[in-house]
Structures are given as C-alpha cells and as structure tokens.
Amino acid sequence: SIMVFGMNQILLAFTATATAVFGVYFKLQSFIFMPVFGLNNGMVPIVAYNYGARKPDRIIKTIKLSVIYAVGIMLVGLILFQVIPHLFLGLFMAEGETSGDMLTIGVPALRIISLSFLFAGFAIVCSSVFQALGHGVLSLTVSVVRQLLVLLPVAFVLSRLNGLQAVWWAFPIAELFSLTLSALFLKRVYHKEILPMREHA
C-alpha cells in the first residue's frame, strides 16, 4: 500500500534495520488484529439485519459489546508488545543474525507503536458499523485521513525533527485522529439514523 511504501522510504533514510523492524511489526500486528476483524465479520450482519428490522436497541447493544471485546483484545496485544517485544522480534530474526541493531531499534519501536492498539479497537468497530449501515464512504474517509493525511506527514516531520525514535510515535498519533474522527462520524450516524428509529418506535 501507499502507507507501507511511504513509511519504508522514511525509515530507509535511517537504516535498513528500521525497515526490517517495520516489516516485523506489520506481520505481528495481523495476529493481534485478526480476532478483531473476525469479531467484526460477525457483527456486520447483526447490525445490518437489525437496521433493516428497525430495532435500534439491538444495534446499540451490538456496537457496545463489539467495542468492549475489540478493546479487550487490543489490550491483550498491547500488554504482550510492552512485556515481551524482544521475543516477538526474535521470531523473525534469521538464524545467526546479529540481534543488536534489531533489538535496539525494534524493542522501543514495538512498545511505542502498540500504544495505538487501544485506539484502533474502537476505530475498527466503527468502520464496520459504517459499512453495515451503508456508509462505506465514512470508513474510507477515516482510513485515508489516518494513513495519508496524518500518519505519513507526521512520521516525516518527526523523522526530521527528532530522528528515528520519534517516527514510531506517528502511529499512536494517527490512531488517535482515527478514533476522534470515527467517534464524530458515529455520533452523526446515531443522531441521523438510529435515534429517529427510537423516536418513531
């Protein structure tokens, strides 16, 4: 994707090891995010069905439960990344590879990037809610803003101002923007589409 290409270009300005660390993170995050995407796949038809059946209370309950479970899964991921980042990095280091640089760069990188997990759980659920209610363009907007308008520019600016260590902070910053935008969109959808169902019930 454009985001991966852009991040690799920013990181290559420092060292090839930094891009290797980013590659490892990208592989590892899929293990954390996968259960959340699975949860969402189960949630979308429930929200869509109850939207069609004009049952707002069930929609709200489903969204609340999904957010709780998603944030719970992400919290587990965050704890693992904070406590054993060196073990995760070790899984991807080649036999006999000198681990010095990889661990020096990778351990703080995984700890900083994983701070974004808590925000991401909420944003991912919101994205699926928008799709279930026929507002795919809202999901797309959040995704584009997060990756292209926040993550890459912030990573670039931080790389120039404070070096490699600062670049990783672009992830939690971008995810915080994503959470804020998702919450605003969710509030708008709630007031325009879910709340009127209750009032006309």
pLDDT at 92: 81
pLDDT at 98: 53
Neighbours of 68 (CB within 10 A): 12
pLDDT at 1: 81
Give exposure, 20-44, as e/b (b: 16+ Cβ within 10 Å).
bbbebbeebbeebbebbeebbeebb
What letter represents residue 37's amino acid? F
pLDDT at 101: 84
pTM over 0.95: no
pLDDT at 75: 97
Burial class (CB in 10 A: 0-12, 13-18, 19+), 161: exposed
Helix (H) / strand (E) element for 126: namely helix 117-132
CB of 147 within 8 A of CB of 124?
no
- Positions in the chain short of pLDDT 70: 94-99, 201
pLDDT at 100: 72
pLDDT at 97: 53
Give the dihedral of Cα atoms 64, 66, 68, 73; nearest 10 deg.
-170
Distance CA 36, CA 121 (A): 7
